[in-house]
Structure 1
């Protein structure tokens, strides 16, 4: 009987450790970005969005530089779910750029990386407005609806994952306490 109890406790500890380890291995890295890594953008860029594959904390930062090492000033930063949005003070002129980022994941671990893109924008004098403002407004409304739906799905996935982890931890604790109290009762 003692051998069964010892084996049972070891199995519980291994299972609990494996469950917790999967959570700590979920470091945050850039999954996608706008502009994308390696992309050539044919319009001016004044906003850069990085979507992380796991939760991030507000300590996340980014630096935008050109090939000569000139750093471009970031005016403001936003955090929306797993997205880190950087608004530049001025649009980037045509050229090659590197975004170096450092993220503090929701798991408390730091990660870093970089991605590159090229801006090949026409001068303002060459840009010709071909669309009417009404069309642009409709597209913006569609984008807002799509972004809202994506955010809702991301929130649901995060809630489901958190709930599963909590349920597993509670189950392990309940079984552990049950074994402990049963073994104490048998000794009496």
Structure 2
């Protein structure tokens, strides 16, 4: 009986270390949902523990993969961007292998919104320019609002997905430990009946 209690206590003490063993994303540049208004030369993801060299990341815009020069340094996964990013929504998809050997993946969404200087095709009078600028600013404001609403909805959806993934990762060790405990109890009762 003392052996079983000892094994149960050891198993229960292992639960927090199993849950903590998984490496999580600590910080990222750009961060989730960030709107970038300057040139972005490098993407940097920093994790809670060291990551393996086999870790990767991809930058995706409209379903197309944008080439990155990816390297791993201790706790950081970095990707250098070859040319300036165009305006639009982007997704960083990362896959890492933590110190514990478990593969973990995730996504970070961000938006590039750079000011663009457009040349006017036809010269206009000052009065026409004022009218056109008023119309353009209203259209720009409406576009900005709709884009911000879409970005906020995407962020909420992705945060929910990440929470579900984290819950499922933490649920697996709990189930394994529960099965071990049930097995020990059944073994104990089986030996007791034979005695």
Q: Does 1:89 align with 2:82?
A: yes
- Counterpart CA distance in 2 for 1:75 and 1:98 is 16
- Which structure: larger Rg? 2
User: With structure 1 as the length reference, what TM-score do the two structures score?
Assistant: 0.54
User: With structure 2 as the length reference, what TM-score do the two structures score?
Assistant: 0.53
Per the TM alignment, residue 77 of structure 1 is displaced from its structure 2 partner at its CA by 1.4
* Unpaired runs of at least 5, structure 1: 1-5, 126-188
Greater mean deviation of Cα atoms: 83-92 or 108-117: 83-92
- Counterpart CA distance in 2 for 1:124 and 1:111 is 41
- Counterpart CA distance in 2 for 1:104 and 1:28 is 8
Per the TM alignment, residue 114 of structure 1 is displaced from its structure 2 partner at its CA by 0.4
| Paired positions, count | 117
Equivalent residue number for residue 52 of structure 2:
57
* Unpaired runs of at least 5, structure 2: 119-195
Equivalent residue number for residue 8 of structure 2:
14
* Contact 2:89 2:110 survives alignment (8 Å): yes
Equivalent residue number for residue 69 of structure 2:
75
Equivalent residue in structure 2 for 1:44, among 39, 45, 48: 39
The secondary structure found in structure 1 opposite 2:106 is: strand
Q: 1:23 to 1:45 in 2, by over 3 A?
A: same
- Counterpart CA distance in 2 for 1:55 and 1:76 is 16
- Counterpart CA distance in 1 for 2:17 and 2:53 is 20
Consecutive aligned runs of 4 or more in structure 1 exceeding 6 Å deviation: none
Per the TM alignment, residue 101 of structure 1 is displaced from its structure 2 partner at its CA by 0.9
Structure 1 residues 54-87: Cα deviation after superposition (integer angstroms, max 9, x where no partner): 4322221111001x2111111231323x221111
- Counterpart CA distance in 2 for 1:48 and 1:124 is 26
The secondary structure found in structure 1 opposite 2:8 is: helix
Equivalent residue number for residue 24 of structure 1:
18
**Higher strand fraction (1 or 2):** 1
Per the TM alignment, residue 119 of structure 1 is displaced from its structure 2 partner at its CA by 1.1
Q: 1:23 to 1:124 in 2, by over 3 A?
A: farther
Equivalent residue number for residue 133 of structure 2:
none
Per the TM alignment, residue 104 of structure 1 is displaced from its structure 2 partner at its CA by 0.8
Equivalent residue number for residue 169 of structure 1:
none
